Chain A
């Protein structure tokens, strides 16, 4: 009786063991793949570079990478043949932007337009991801300071250094909807220490919307629009509207665009744009971005 019991038990074990063995290599692989699928998959390359046209995208440069940006805005296209449709004049910005970590970068720049220096940080607060950690959007915070070094309009009165300063705080909420389509919203607050007219507000608010559609693997069509809130804008300024292309060629990204803004730092193009597309106040321009790897990635 006891022997019988042992027999059946061992038979049972033998059978279960065999069924476990019968599990084939593909099944095991499927099991492992399912386990791995739970890992968090962060969305990358929402945009090709850290700028859309004039303004920032949600992208950062990688840790240890230096992005040298050279940007030009030519004169107004409606300048006619005498000005070669604006090509006779150009303002230029040179910028150096460095990735301190993969989520924090810093940049400085100098623009010939109104002899402006600018400096900024960009911090990725949230990263779009799926899998273990699901996050629908990427959120970045970009504080920028600008220093206008043009001579004061009235040198006879007492001028303060702080009158040259402009502060911009921007949130960027971006989402890569598909391989080719990305959109972002950019609520933007600008503070000016000195304004021209007593009626001009010191604090300005705007909301931007921008996006890209890839045309091929290496070329995308971009647009960017900043709407200024009527009560928080300066008189006689217009909303900045820009369209352009990104062309990526290995280490470089070339951006060619048309915009009604001449300035290349936030307080300039968001709050001081005066050009009107309908009147032909369109500036042709380009940005060239070249990334050098300086520090270690890990």
Chain B
């Protein structure tokens, strides 16, 4: 009997340490377009991100209206003409970290990872692969990555008048500090 209790106690603790979901409501994702004419950058600091540390399932979700630009007019055009926030309010990613087993969430360090999954923007879903890092520091994990997306792949077209101002491929920088546990 005592043995059984011990087994359950171990099971209990094992469950809580291994099968953890880490998440945040204030992750940040930036988009960056660089051309000879101008650089355009926008930040969204209200990104939702959930990571299952056991299976490697990784999800992001953000509201497109949460991107803030340096110029008010850029923000308006982004929402009105390009990402069409009223029609497509959210952008999401649903994927898996391929090498999650190599990440030791208990010990500090930078663990290179590869993520593969469905990136949905502007109503178009594309299978995307990105490399990045999971950085563990003081017991807290941060998911970081930098990759590019082609506007044409997501049916976002740029009119001739601003062709020189907006790059065809956009650099996306992810930095989500997964400070919450469930």
Q: Which residues of A contact B (CB under 8 A)?
A: 3-4, 6-7, 10-11, 13-14, 17-18, 21, 23-26, 28-29, 32-33, 35-36, 41, 44-45, 61-65, 99, 102, 179, 217-218, 249-251, 291, 293, 297
Contact = CB atoms under 8 A, between A and B. Distances in A.
A23 B1 contact: no
Nearest to B87: A179
Nearest to A250: B162
Interface string B24-57: 0100000000000000000000101011100101
Given A36-B46, A45-B76, A3 B1 contact: yes
Contacts of A32: 23, 25, 48, 50, 61
Interface in B75-127: 75-77, 79-81, 86-87, 90, 94
Interface in B145-180: 159, 161-162, 165
B129 interface: no
Contacts of A35: 25
B6 to A, nearest CB: 10
Closest 4 pairs (CB-CB, A-B): A62-B72, A250-B162, A25-B57, A10-B8
A297 B71 CA distance: 7
Nearest to B81: A217
Interface residues of B, number: 46
6 contacts: A3-B5, A7-B5, A29-B48, A36-B25, A62-B71, A62-B72
B9 interface: yes
B128 interface: no
Contacts of B63: 36
Contacts of A29: 48, 50, 59, 61
B19 interface: yes
B80 A217 contact: yes
Nearest to A22: B19
A94 B50 CA distance: 53
A10 B71 CA distance: 58
Given A26-B59, A41-B65, 18 more contacts: A3-B1, A13-B8, A17-B12, A17-B16, A23-B21, A25-B57, A25-B58, A25-B59, A26-B94, A32-B23, A32-B25, A36-B25, A44-B79, A62-B76, A63-B72, A64-B72, A179-B87, A297-B72
Contacts of A250: 77, 159, 161-162, 165
B21 A7 contact: no
A295 B50 CA distance: 38
Contacts of A63: 72
Nearest to B163: A250
A201 to B, nearest CB: 41
B57 A24 contact: yes
A123 to B, nearest CB: 17
Nearest to B8: A10
A136 to B, nearest CB: 16
B161 A249 contact: yes
